Amino acid sequence: MNSNLTRWTRLKLAAQSLRRFLTPTTGAWSVATWLMLAVWVLLFLSFIFINVIPHFSFEKLVGLVALFVTMAVVSLGLLLVFGLAATMKRRFRMALLLALPPLLLLLVLTWGVAGALIGASVVLSALILVVGAAAALLKRRSSAGPRLKPFAFLAIGTILIGASAYALLKPVPDPNPALTNYHLVSRSLPMPDPGKPGPYAVTYFTYGSGKDRRRPEFAAGARFLSKSVDGSRLDKLWAGPDGWLRTHYWGFDATALPLQGRVWMPQAASPGADAGPFPLVLLVHGNYEMEIPSDTGYAYLGELLAGQGFIVVSVDENFLNGSLADFLNPRTFRFGKENKVRGWLLLEHLTQWQAWSNDPIHPLFGKIDMNRIALIGHSRGGEAVAIANALNDLDRDPDDATVALNYHFKLGAIGAIAPADGQYLLRGRPTPMRDTNYFVI
């Protein structure tokens, strides 16, 4: 009995000694505190210089402040949790610390997002260890005393920083090494090179609301004026304080969404050559900051396809994209549910083009073949074109039967470039695709 008691006493003494060894000094806590404040300031300034100052707007600044305020509230909640943890029995805390790591590992393997939180914790802990240990070593340079603890902390922190840097900077392996030395020599199809200019001269113009305060090419620079459409019953995210900021930035809200686009149109190269009608192709971009135009990136593809005899439109849907202002209200954050509105707007653009095609006094009369239409989208736009194809077959909105659709255009092809998928579900089900030429890359 005494022998067992002695062993238990030794274990307790060893645990207490280890605890004293691992407990930072008052100076180390002070250094770590200032380091964390410096990290906060540097992160805030980096967001200012990287995300706000380029393409500055009042709305982005307000959104950034709201984001940091939200994170501060979350931090206060964590401090409350830590304070409650301090009131727990020691044995329970030990059991919690044993159970927590495998639980976090399970969350990382299941959801992935938690991995980023763990990585941030590791990097911050490593910085505290390295800077705190270095400060302790410098402070003790002229005095005698044990130096094992700061050296140990410095080593641990250095190892963690090195591991984190390797995880971030390590080269990404080739996902398909079989294609490293692959060449198409003697494997080409006997067809014309689709990357070469076609036989048609190309003319370029824009159409828009005529009063876009942010995009002069859709205001005074628009050749043709288009209608605005009421999407408020479809876009439920354009609401609240973030919706107010979005309206303040653009000058319109979801009740007056503009139909705007850049157009590359083929022209007959010589008298007597085919002057139309030409097939119509709508291209739509994906999600990025709404303040930075995404519709400008299709100029090469627009000119190329127009030279081959297609009317190509790069559709402007930047006003549906995300913004720092969205952080004012996480409930209406744009995670892709607005892709339904993106798809619906494409059908409204087709309605506008059909009206121009049928108007005998309009310059586009008889130029558009509305029986040959293709929709092509990238990222969220890639999901939007599939949604547009599904909505095109319906007479009513699947989420609100009081909203009439009834488009029924002849969509000959749907193309998706690195598309999002499942961010919006029609009645909770995957987007249907029937009797459609569907190409995904």
Q: Does residue 182 sit within a domain?
A: no
Structural domain of 430 = 201-440
Which two structure tokens, joined as six digits, stand for 39?
């990290």
pLDDT tens digits along 351-405: 999 999 999 999 999 999 999 999 999 999 999 999 999 999 999 999 889 999 9
Same domain, 284 and 378: yes
Tell me: do 308 and 363 sit in the same domain.
yes
**Statement to judge: residues 389 and 334 lie in one domain:** yes
114 in a domain, yes or no? yes
Identify the CATH number of the domain in which residue 388 sits. 3.40.50
Buried b (16+ CB within 10 A) or exposed e, 179-217: eeeeeeeeeeeeeeeeeeebebebeeebbbbeebeebeb
**Residue whose pair of structure tokens reads 């049928």 in the numeric block:** 358
Domain count, the chain: 2
* Residue range 149-174, pLDDT digits in tens: 778 888 888 888 888 778 767 787 87
User: Do 157 and 222 reside in the same domain of the chain?
Assistant: no
Which of 151, 169, 187 terminates a domain? The answer is 169
Rounded CA separation 243/59 (Å): 10
Range in 121-130, 338-347, 352-361, 386-395 with the lowest mean pLDDT = 121-130
Q: Does residue 317 share a domain with residue 262?
A: yes
Closest listed residue to residue 148, CA positions, set 18, 14, 29, 27: 18
The residue among 125 and 150 whose pLDDT is bigger is 150
Q: Based on the domain organization, do 269 and 380 belong to the same domain?
A: yes
pLDDT band of 201, cuts 50, 70, 90: very high
Would you say residue 3 lies in a domain?
Answer: no
Domain annotation covers residue 61: no
Residue 64 in domain: no
Q: Considering the domain boundaries, does residue 291 fall inside one?
A: yes
Query: Do residues 379 and 423 share a domain?
Result: yes
pLDDT of residue 111: 46
DSSP conformation class of 326: G
d(CA 243, CA 338): 13
d(CA 89, CA 422): 46
| Closest to 355 measured CA to CA, from 221, 212, 229, 215 | 229
Query: Is residue 258 domain-shared with residue 405, that is, in the same domain?
Result: yes
Same domain, 318 and 273: yes
- Can you give the pTM of this predicted structure? 0.75
**Residue 254 forms part of a structural domain:** yes
Please say which residue of 148, 169, 190 terminates a domain. 169
**What CA–CA distance (Å, rounded) separates 271 from 255?**
45
> Do β-strands 228-229 and 257-258 pair in parallel, antiparallel, or remain unpaired?
antiparallel
Closest CA to 242 of 301, 323, 158: 323
Q: Same domain, yes or no, for 156 and 207?
A: no
Any domain includes 262: yes
Instruction: Clarify whether residues 151 and 207 are in a common domain.
Output: no
Are 235 and 165 part of one and the same domain? no
